Structures are given as C-alpha cells and as structure tokens.
Amino acid sequence: MGRSLGATIQSIAGLSVPPEEMQRIQQDYVQQATSLWNQAIDRQAEWKPADKRFAAPEWSANPAAAFTASMYLLNSRTLRRLADALQGDDKARERVRFAVQQWVDASAPSNFLALNPEALKKALDTGGTSITQGVQQLLHDLRQGHLSQTDESVFHVGQNVATSAGQVVFENAFFQLIEYAPLTDKVYERPFLFVPPCINKFYILDLQPENSVVRHLVSQGHRVFMVSWVNPDESLSQATWDDYVEQGVFEALRVTRDITGADQVNALGFCVGGTMLATALATLAARGEHPVASLTLLTAFLDFSQTGIMDVFVDEAMVRMREMTMGPDSPKGGGLMRGGDLAATFSFLRPNDLVWNYVVGNYLKGEPPPAFDLLYWNSDSTNLPGPFYTWYLRNTYLENKLVQPGAVEVCGEPLDLGLLDMPTFIYGSREDHIVPWESAYASTQVVQGPKTFVLGASGHIAGVINPPEKKKRSHWVSGEVARALPEHASDWLSTAEERPGSWWPVWTEWLSKHAGRQVAAPTRPGSRAHPPIEAAPGRYVLRKA
C-alpha cells in the first residue's frame, strides 16, 4: 500500500516524500497492520475504538466490523502521514492534504450499509423499516437539492426563527432595512446598525429569543437596525462589489442616520459583511465622511494573507474561470453563483460533521435529523451576483489587495483601510475554519484607532451565537485597549486571560461606552420620510435560492 501510494503522490505537482521518511512510514504500517491482524485472530483481545464513528457497541461486538474499522483508521493515519511528509510547493501540498482528507472521510466503513453493523442491526430490529425510511429521506433530499442537516419542516422564518418584533422602514433592489421595536423605556441616543454577510441570511443574528444577538442588544437599550440582503435573482446578475457598497452599505448608513437624526451610528459587520462594511467606511473616509462612531468586526477578514483551508480552492486558474463564466467581462456580463454550490463547498470543509454524519443518520439508519435552528439557517442558502463574487475572489483571497493602500478602487476612491480610525472591537473564534482566528486578529494591525480584541471558543457560527444565559464555552481577553496590539496573534494569546462563559457581556460593556446618553425610546418605527413598509422580517429574507 505504502509503495504504490508513495509513487502516486510523488507524481503529483512535483511533490515528493523523502526516501527515509517513506521507509519509516512503510515499516510502521506493516508493523501496525500485523498487530491488528494478530489482534483479530486473538478474539480474547478487546478492541476499543478511538473514533466516535465507531463508538457504538455493535462495532466492537462484531470482529469483522472491528477489524475493518481498525484497518480503515490505520490506512487513514498512513495516508495523512504521507500527505504531511510531502515536500514541494506549499499550495500543492495543501491541496493534496485536502484531497486525502476528503477521500479518507468519504471511504469510512460507517458510510456504507453493508459495512456498518449499527445500521444493519437497526434494519433487522425494525424489520427493514429503517431502510425504507432512509430511502424516502434520500429521495426527499434529491428533490429539494441538498442534504438535510435538520428537520426543516419545523422552522418557519418569521414564526419561530427571525422573531424579533420590528418593521421594514426602507428597501431598494439590494436590501431591506429593519428597525426593531424597543424593549426598554429608554434607549441609547446613538443607533446601532448590523451589516450581516450577503452570502447568508441575516437571521443568524436573530434565530430565537433565547439566542438572538438582536434581542440581546435591544434588551440592553440599543436602538437596532438590520440590513436584510435580497436573495439575488437574474435581475441582479450583473451587480458588482461597488453596487453592494454604494446601494447597500452606504444607503443603510444614510437611512439609519436620517430616521434617528444621529450624526453617527455604531456599526457591526459579520464575516463578509465586516469586509464590506470596512471597505465602505474607508471609502467614505477618503471623501471626508465619518458616519460611524465605533466599529465591530465579527469573524471578518481584512487581511487575507492566511485564509486557512479556503486557500486550497483559490488560484489564478479558478478565479479566471469564474470571471470568464460569470464576471463582468463574461459573455452575459454576469451570472449567478448559486447558493447551493456555496453551501456544499462550506459543508465539505467539515465533511464528517456536516456531510457524512447525516448520510449515515438520514439514509443508512433512517433517522430524521433533529430540529436545530442554526442548521436550518445554514441550509437556507443565498445566491451571489457573479461580478460581485469574482471581484471578491480576485481582490481578497487571490491577491489580498484590500490591505495594500491604493491597490484597488471602491466606488471611485483608492482604498486605504488605514483610514479606519474609530474605536474598533474585533472578535475571532478559536476553532473557526472559515476565518481563522489569527486572521481575524490581523485586523488589529490594519485599523488605526483604539481597538479591543476578544477570542471566543468554538467555530465560525457557534462561537458567535453564544448567549450569556447558556453559560457555555469560554473567551479570552487581554484587558488591553490600545492603538497598538502585538503584531502576532500568538503573542496576544500568550498574555490573554481565559474567562468562562459568553463574550457578549464584554462587547456590550464596550459598546455602551460609545452609544451616548439615554433618551426616551421611540414610540413608532421609521420616520415621515421612511414610513414602515411591512413587519419584520420582511419579504426579502423569505426568497429562496
């Protein structure tokens, strides 16, 4: 196995495994395989699984299944070890590692009915009913066009997710602006504006009352506005990054200030929304405009020099292909990046948790997935206009131009993120596979005003959606608010203090210092120039990809 695989790997992209390391890997493989074979013959030996996929007692109780799982785990370790031992181009090595991991995860014996003793036992116990239900669920998912990660029939946007009371007070072709109803008699005079990612829908920030960032902020006395991006169809297939900045972020800032009469707002950008908000504010600063008093960036890139696993997907050939098929210079002058394709890409960044886990549960065992609001949101995908998407790919992931002053123009202005001199709160999630926390931290070296960095436990979404009442996870703070934080994330972490529970109280305490005095809460949403259009969450969020 080692010799043939090694020869194959060494023929890929000029990569090679040093001969002495190859020999060590081969020797270790033979030794461990022999040990497993002897253990299988000696039925008195107890096999203890080291992987949750094989933790059910049916695996250890069945010698053939135990041996199959053991050999699979050995083969997996050996493949990963070979991939890690490769020498050559860094990007090619990462791509091989990614491909190996995808193959390893897909080939697990737990993914196949004939090799999964747990699924087979359930089929016998239910008289084949589990298989029938699994086939029905497979057909259902084929019809809907994506793998069910949760029981989607349980959730209805506006009824049991996205439930915070409010009114749509403005809309154009790109977004609706929601103003939320106050929950306190007095509110801070400076309003707060959320700019969520247009790659997903806004209600990740307003799932249900007990885990809603929106409701938490409103309950703290903030007057909250939310951008609800439209799910683009062909009418927006030629929309550009500049269009989203000018018709989206600029307009949201303008209308929020018009309605409230405030000179400045506090604003938050989440993920791509943070990148969009930062570029918009730097563009306005170049024009001498400063509509934001404080900026919050949640799991957002400004510096794309370290993009983690996403880097394996992006190179000149890939970006050029996208530009030729859906960019502004393509035959149609645009196109749509389909939401289902984006969702599938993100799921395969964590295939065991977000793909194969559900293949086994839904189809092999015939178990309906549990109802989980976060995963319902994850499946509610959105399209992206091709010109917007290709501009983003080239100028961020591929060429990292946003942090190079003047390297790119946004809305006719040379972009310089160094013009961002307002107080900034920057948050990263320690296990984030989309925006590595070190990259979120790198924004501290880009913005120039007083800044605070907080690190939360868990991943890109679960780390952010962590209400204090749950008393879950932990966060790290340095206690330092300064214009200069350590250059390297590791230096910051070495002096940071870990604290139990949610990071939200740290943020809301910081935010209250930039929100102004308390005034009487408004008695009605909107204004004479911007009367209510419809109740939150509005029409735009209901549009399916």
Distance, in Å, from the CA atom of 133 to the CA atom of 44, rounded to the nearest integer, reads 37
Q: Could you tell me which residues are beta bridge partners of residue 175?
A: 229
Distance between CA 364 and CA 133 in Å, rounded? 9
Choose among 381, 371, 360, 339: nearest CA to 152: 371
Retrieve residue 236's tokens: 């927006």
Catalytic residue among 271, 292, 319, 403: 271
Assign residue 335 a region (left: φ > 0; alpha: ψ between -120 and 50; beta: otherwise). Answer: left
Which 3 state secondary structure label does DSSP give 506? Answer: helix
Residues 6+ apart with CB under 8 A from 404: none
Reading the block at residue 330, the tokens are 């393509």
- The region, left, alpha or beta by phi > 0 then psi within -120 to 50, assigned to residue 469 is alpha
What is the CA angle 183-188-193, rounded to 5?
85
**Opening angle at CA 343, ends 433 and 360, nearest 5:** 85
- The overall longest dimension of the chain from CA atoms, in Å, is 83
CB atoms inside a 10 Å sphere around CB 290? 14
CB atoms under 10 Å from CB of 416, counted, come to 17
Tokens of 249: 């972020």
Nearest residue to 229 (alpha-carbon basis) of 262, 269, 257: 269
Q: Is 271 designated active site?
A: yes
Instruction: Find all residues with CB under 8 Å of 139, minimum gap 6, and list them.
Output: none
- Active-site positions? 271
